[in-house]
Every structure is written in C-alpha cells, then in structure tokens.
Amino acid sequence: MTGTVHDSPTPWIADHIRRFMETGGHPRPGVADLLLTTRGRRSGLLRRTALAYVRAQDAYVLTASNAGADRHPAWYLNLLATPDVTLQVGALAFAATARPATAAESARLWPVVVAAMPSYAVYRTATTREIPLVLVTPNGATT
C-alpha cells in the first residue's frame, strides 16, 4: 500500500499510534499491539489504527469490538471492502490479507481472545451485534 497514511482522528487512538512509533512497537508492556492500515472504503485514503491482537497459527487475530458500540469500527468495514492491508508488529511492517473468521473459527478463538484481553468479554455483553474476529495473514516475506 503506497500513499500518505492518515492516523485515526480519535485522540486516544492517535496518541496510542504515536506511543507505538516512539517505543518501537511496544506502547503497553505485556499487551500485544499492532498497527493496521486499511484503505478507506469511501475515501480511498490509507487509514491507520492501533489494535491489540492474539496469534493463531500463521494469523493475527483482531477483534472488531469498537469498545462494545452497536456499530462495527470503520477499520473493519474498510477491510471488508478491501482485504489487502498493512500490519506493523513491533518494528516490522508487512503486507497482509484480512478476512472475517468463520463461525467455527470464532467459537474456537473467542476464549483465547478473552484470556488475552478480558475487556472483550465486557464489550460482548454491551452490544447486541455479533463482534467479529478478523484473521490477518502475512503475504509472503515480511520487511
């Protein structure tokens, strides 16, 4: 993905991205964080956000919780429209492909996600929507 990257306009997320960059990808000790860049489904602009993740085999598992809001986060809607994304994990940035987890994958992965980030259990009870899990798989070599 080439072009100017626009960080989240949400102040606390923009601050998290800044801390991520300043710390070489470790803004919260003990928490697995990454940066996700998607292409805006309406604007076509590159959009970057910070997210917690867990690993499952060769995929990074992201939770489209939107803090329990009744609507999906913009980054999730963007990757549904364009599944080609960029991840930055630590100092390593690489191209990847994203897809929603299947029902069977979600059933298997939710306990792992909640064990890593207990707040996701609370978010699930705060909304009536099904909170999607997303599997992001690197495209070949990483740089």
Is 0.85 surpassed by the pTM of this model?
yes
pLDDT digits (tens, 9 = 90+) for 99-135: 999 999 999 999 999 999 999 999 999 999 999 999 9
The secondary element (H helix, E strand) that includes residue 97 is: strand 92-100
Sign of CA dihedral 99, 102, 62, 69: positive
Spatial distance between the Cα atoms of 46 and 48, rounded to a whole number of angstroms: 7
Distances (CA, A) of 25 to 35, 58, 103: 8, 20, 31
Q: Which residues of the chain have pLDDT under 70?
A: 141-143
